[in-house]
Amino acid sequence: MHEGASCQRNLPDFSLKPIDYTWIVMNLVLASSSPTRRKILQQLQLPFTSCSPDINESPLSGETTLDYVKRLALEKARAVSNQHPDSLVIGSDQACSLNGLILGKPASAEAAVKQLKMCSGNWVEFQTGLALINTRTHKEHVTHDSFRVRFRNLSTEEIRAYIELDKPLDCAGCFRAEAAGISLFESLEGRDYNTLLGLPMIALVTLLKEEGLNPLLAAAP
């Protein structure tokens, strides 16, 4: 783990039902400090540790959006994997683009206004990279999922009101779909809504099962 990284243990609400985890020999680790990704992973009702990876997220020269998010997802998982033997380590990264232009996290409210004006009335595509590392066998999986959103035609007044409401300056695409950001959209297109939020759960469950962890059987009472 890189210097300065921190981990947090996440457990299901055991008051809901008794769950026996004694047969689960592989630990689950989420290489992310994102509260949204932690909340998404909690849907599986499995215990996991979340760790903040310390990596350089600058894109490489000539790198496509898809290559970028897949590379960062794997680098995030690798950044914390050395400190977690006998674990399944999850890494994920997301980028959004408008007509091939990558839209980063806005640095200011004015930059956010400009970005959302660009998105107004247009389709914006999200690419989310996903990596899973088995630290026992050192096997690495890397995949991705896509999601598209079509923005409503937004007035400057609506855009400024939204930015003040959700304060999404730290978000790719400059919105929080899990909050008031849903009001910005006219339609959504994709197989997994969680991909839009930053952690493709359908793809993740497939990878976990390939590594011998069936979330339904593991979480069953």
Q: What positions carry a catalytic annotation?
A: 93
- Count each helix (H run) and each strand (E run) in the chain, helices first: 7, 8
Closest CA to 74 of 129, 34, 4: 129
Closest CA to 199 of 125, 104, 128, 124: 128
Closest CA to 14 of 58, 40, 46: 46
β-bridge partners, 196:
none
28 touches 49 (CB < 8 A): yes
In angstroms, the CA 93 to CA 91 distance is: 7
